[in-house]
């Protein structure tokens, strides 16, 4: 509890995550089981407002004299991943709700192997790169908005530095996604098993 009192921005991040899922769930329930298509669409379209709330809260915290730290970097990273992955997550959930509640076609699952899996992994990794790029851009904007470099130094150097963290996320995602898929395909070719 003391952590939340000392870091109200962390509470805002948690509330934004909850808000995203509430808007998504409410939008899909309104759209399909309740058959309120316009209301559902409005709720789904409103999900980016959560990102704007987080950005505004982060800027306000720093403008009021707060010193940038781990939580501000986390907010920037969360914002990047929300922007990069949010639309595809909404489309995925929408397809499953349409299948379950509106007699829509069953969504096609990504195969475990083969060219389609490889395309999927590259696409997801591309979103990860975009998310990390947005996170770094937000960090740069925050530094510019604050206007005093010494209050945002923690975002760029030391233990709180976010560029190495986001770089590590990108590298790990590449190794466990696209690279793993390529190596798996190569192993299948050597063993003579079909690629799926």
pLDDT in tens, the chain (196 residues): 676 666 788 889 999 999 999 999 999 999 999 999 999 999 999 999 999 999 898 888 888 877 777 888 888 999 999 999 999 999 999 999 999 999 999 999 999 888 999 999 999 999 999 999 999 999 888 888 776 777 777 777 766 688 889 999 999 999 999 999 988 765 554 444 444 4
Query: Which residue ranges make up each domain of the chain?
Result: 2-191
Q: How many helices (H) and strands (E) does the chain have?
A: 9, 0
Q: Quick one: which of 54, 33, 196, 193 has its CA closest to 120? A: 196
Nearest 5 degrees, angle CA 168-CA 173-CA 179?
A: 120
Rounded Cα distance, 116 and 10, in Å: 38
pTM of the full structure = 0.83
């Amino acid at each position: 509890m003391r952590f939340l009192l000392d870091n109200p921005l962390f509470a805002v991040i948690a509330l934004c995550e909850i808000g995203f899922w509430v808007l998504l769930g409410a939008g899909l329930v309104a759209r399909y089981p309740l058959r309120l298509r316009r209301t559902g669409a409005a709720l789904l379209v409103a999900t980016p407002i959560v990102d704007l709330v987080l950005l505004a809260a982060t800027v306000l915290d720093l403008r009021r004299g707060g010193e940038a730290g781990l939580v501000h970097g986390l907010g920037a990273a969360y914002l990047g991943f929300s922007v990069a992955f949010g639309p595809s997550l909404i489309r995925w959930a929408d397809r499953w709700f349409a299948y379950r509640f509106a007699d829509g076609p069953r969504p096609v699952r990504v195969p475990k192997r083969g060219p389609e899996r490889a395309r999927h992994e590259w696409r997801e990794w591309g979103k990860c790169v975009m998310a990390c790029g947005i996170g770094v851009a937000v960090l740069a904007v925050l530094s510019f908005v604050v206007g005093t470099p010494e209050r945002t130094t923690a975002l760029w150097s030391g233990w709180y530095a976010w560029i190495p963290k986001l770089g590590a996320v990108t590298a790990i995602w590449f190794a466990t996604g696209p690279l793993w898929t390529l190596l798996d395909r190569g192993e299948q070719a050597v063993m003579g098993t079909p690629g799926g």
